[in-house]
Copies of this chain bind each other. A is one copy, B any other.
């Protein structure tokens, strides 16, 4: 039973945990936020947080509005032969957002990042901490004499992907919004490849 006497299964409990998590992540960033602290702020038992959310990463993804398991998708996309890293990353990125639900999710992400500084901070934390760091680590690992990309080069590759989504899902510029995923990959992958692998 929750300290406030609500039933554990109530929809509002889950909402309150999400609300507390949003505030905690925004105030303290991902690393300095604990599930125990979120439970305390929401006035629920920590076990309830675990009941609703599969760990801190999953809770963070839900707060930011990212698709579930995006973490593993990133890992898969950056692993494998370096020669096709650009292609894999662009194809994975499009597969994540290229559905009615994905499109809505992206629109919600941009809307909140553009209207709430907190949401923009969360997204920055995620992009820097998870996406860019993971890409850098994967490329450093598979490195055989090549120079690892600079943080700016990695950010520029991320910018190419974010911009692709802006034109495809938000502004809906016809050439980008109506193109086949394979065409988009063929056009954009060389940029990501150059920036990340050289």
Which residues of A are interface residues toward B (Cβ below 8 A)? 107, 110-111, 113-115, 120, 123-124, 127-128, 132, 150-156, 158-164, 166-167, 170-176, 179, 183-184, 187-188, 190-191, 194-195
Contacts and interface: CB of A to CB of B under 8 A. Distances in A.
A170 B119 CA distance: 10
Given A160-B163, A187-B195, 16 more contacts: A111-B111, A113-B170, A115-B115, A120-B172, A123-B171, A127-B167, A132-B173, A151-B175, A152-B179, A156-B184, A158-B167, A158-B173, A162-B167, A190-B194, A191-B191, A191-B195
Nearest to A106: B114
Copies of this subunit: 2
A120 B170 contact: yes
A-B pairs with the 8 shortest C-beta distances?
Answer: A163-B163, A159-B163, A151-B175, A111-B114, A162-B163, A155-B176, A155-B175, A110-B114
A159 B160 contact: yes
Contact of A159 (B110, B166, B174, B183): B166
Nearest to A167: B159
A162 B166 CA distance: 8
Contacts of A159: 160, 163-164, 166-167, 176, 188
